[in-house]
Every structure is written in C-alpha cells, then in structure tokens.
C-alpha cells in the first residue's frame, strides 16, 4: 500500500511517533495520519522447475559408446551424446557418461 498526502500529493512515509505507534507523515506538509491496522504482509515466490537439458536418463538409453577415458575413475569407455547448445555456426557439444555403472560420471568436451 502506498499512501499519498491529500494536500501536496507527495508520498507519505511511515515513522514511529513519541508514543511508540506508527503514523504516516508527509515531509512537506505538517500533517500525519495514524496507522490503525497492520499493513505488512509476506509473499513468497514460487521457483520454476528446472528441466534437465540432456533429457534425463531416457536420453542415455540408446546412445553409442566410444573410447574416452573417464576423468573420475579412469575407465576407458564412455557413452556419448551430441547436442547443438550454441549457435549454428559453432560446433556441437559432446556430452559423455562413464560406462562404468558404479561411476556414471558426466562430463562434456
């Protein structure tokens, strides 16, 4: 809620008076209006759900494997998936997943 002075149309500011209650006060005119009810409230924003860019686990079901060394466990084979993540004149980005079922490390090249 934004309150404006009825005499000069400037914005009214909330301040505490000598008795400890809140009041709307104009900085230009010598007027004030006591606050008679609670004027505060809270609203929480709902965060957007984040989509998996690679399509989740379903995207890795029918991919090929190649000889690529995993930087985490050192396994010699990795599944790969290529996606166009930048503009058309840039090369495709290659995403890798380790073939070692205990590791399943993801990285890109």
On whether both 66 and 98 belong to a single domain, the answer is yes
Which CATH number does the domain housing residue 70 bear?
Answer: 2.20.25.10
Look at residue 22 and tell me if it is in a domain.
Answer: yes
Range of the domain at 79: 56-108
Q: Which residues of the chain have pLDDT under 70?
A: 1-2, 39-40, 51, 53-54
**Nearest Cα to Cα of residue 75 among 31, 37, 105:** 105
On whether both 64 and 21 belong to a single domain, the answer is no
Model pTM score: 0.50
Look at residue 46 and tell me if it is in a domain.
Answer: no
| Cβ atoms 67, 76 nearer than 8 A | yes
- Please state the residue numbers annotated as binding site: 5, 8, 26, 29, 70, 73, 98, 103
- Please state the residue numbers annotated as binding site for Zn(2+): 5, 8, 26, 29, 70, 73, 98, 103
- Do strands 106-108 and 32-34 pair parallel, antiparallel, or not at all (unpaired)? unpaired
Look at residue 36 and tell me if it is in a domain.
Answer: yes
- pLDDT value at residue 10: 92
On whether both 32 and 67 belong to a single domain, the answer is no
- pLDDT value at residue 54: 67
pLDDT tens digits for range 8-27: 999 999 888 888 888 899 99
């Amino acid at each position: 809620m934004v309150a404006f002075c009825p005499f000069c149309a400037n914005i009214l500011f909330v301040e505490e008076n000598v008795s400890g209650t809140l009041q709307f006060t104009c900085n230009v005119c010598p007027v004030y209006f006591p606050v008679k009810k609670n004027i505060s409230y809270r609203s929480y924003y709902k965060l957007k759900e984040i989509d998996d860019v690679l399509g989740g686990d379903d995207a890795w079901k029918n991919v090929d494997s190649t000889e690529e060394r995993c930087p985490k466990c050192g396994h010699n084979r990795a599944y790969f998936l290529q996606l166009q993540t930048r503009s058309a004149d840039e090369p495709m980005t290659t995403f890798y997943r380790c073939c070692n079922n205990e590791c399943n490390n993801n990285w890109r090249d």
